[in-house]
Amino acid sequence: MSLKKINIAVAGATGYVGLDLINILSSHPRVNIKYLCAQKNIGKKIQFFDKRIKKKLPKISKLNTINWGNIDLLFTSLPVGESQILIKKLINFSNLKIIDLAADFRLSDKNRYKQFYMKKHKSADLLKYSLYSITEFVKKELKKYKIISCPGCYPTSIQIPLIPLIKKKLIKNKDIIIDSKSGYSGAGKNLKKKFKHKNIFSSIHAYNIYRHRHCSELDQQFSKINKKVDYIFTPNLIPTFRGMLSSIYVNVQDGITVQKVHSSLKKYHKNNFFVKVLPLNRDLGTENVINTNYCEISVCKLKNKKRLLILSAIDNLIKGAAGQAVQNMNILYGFNENSGLK
């Protein structure tokens, strides 16, 4: 018996995230890819941009060629500010759902959006129809929303281990230090326009230290479970294409041991297929999560018994973007959560 499939369109098909998304969707048993859209290279095959994709798919086309009445789900992987304009035009298509991989619907407050992205939100009236979705935290809520907003890669790597500990009040909400390192693909294909330092592909570079855009997401999500979480966040670009490692230093509450923190995280994520909490004090890098939708976590003791280190590793393009989007899709439509992502 053949499985019922949903019809998919992808806007922003030729960026790094778009290509990883299409690569995953091309082997997903429950989707038909009907349109792959971009602003340039109209008429080219997707294999021109990514040789990994073997399946015969529609050629690159413009958004205005889409028959929206025939589409169940739109993935948007567009520059900041563009998704909100497109989605405003499509919101009245009753059967159409949207999963946005950009930042346009991550913040529920239009004023915070303007503060961090230096743009006025042009679809602020639609924010109430959107859900900020790290899948592991909102599985029961996903189906209620028309617009699913995928978090940034840094906030994903940080929140998966940190949110449960804040909820359980196992750590103190001040003096949290977060040092995150990302492969340069996180900056997109316009990398050299964004970063002017020399030896970009063979050096490590800390950037946006004062106020990174992703802090707006962390502030918003932390505030939902605690009025004030005091942290320092430093993002670093490293000379590897993909992968992300966040080192999170926290103070434990009085009487809480590293063993308690470790066991609590294991218990919280025991039913989350894509989260792996490693044995206590395990060294951790990105080698096991590259090209997967997994998040690996290690809890490590330090010399100072009142502090501990939490390491969190993901693939920034998959668990931090395309894979998480497909994971959200699977829950949204009642598919197996790991379908297409094994």
Question: Which among 174, 143, 334 has a CA at the least distance from the CA of 252?
Answer: 174
Residue 153 annotated in active site: yes
* Contact by Cβ (8 Å): 63, 77: no
Query: What are the beta bridge partners of residue 83?
Result: none
Burial class (CB in 10 A: 0-12, 13-18, 19+), 205: middle
* Contact by Cβ (8 Å): 73, 98: yes
Based on its alpha-carbon atoms, the radius of gyration of the chain, rounded to whole angstroms, reads 20
Q: Which residue type occupies 33? A: I
- Local structure of 89: helix, strand or coil: helix
- Local structure of 326: helix, strand or coil: helix
- Marked catalytic residue, from 150, 153, 215, 295: 153
Q: From CA 145, how far away is CA 329, in angstroms rounded?
A: 12
* Contact by Cβ (8 Å): 212, 120: no
Distances (CA, A) of 325 to 20, 44, 82, 133, 318: 11, 25, 18, 9, 8
DSSP 91: T
Question: Which among 301, 303, 314 has a CA at the least distance from the CA of 260?
Answer: 301
Q: Which residues are catalytic?
A: 153
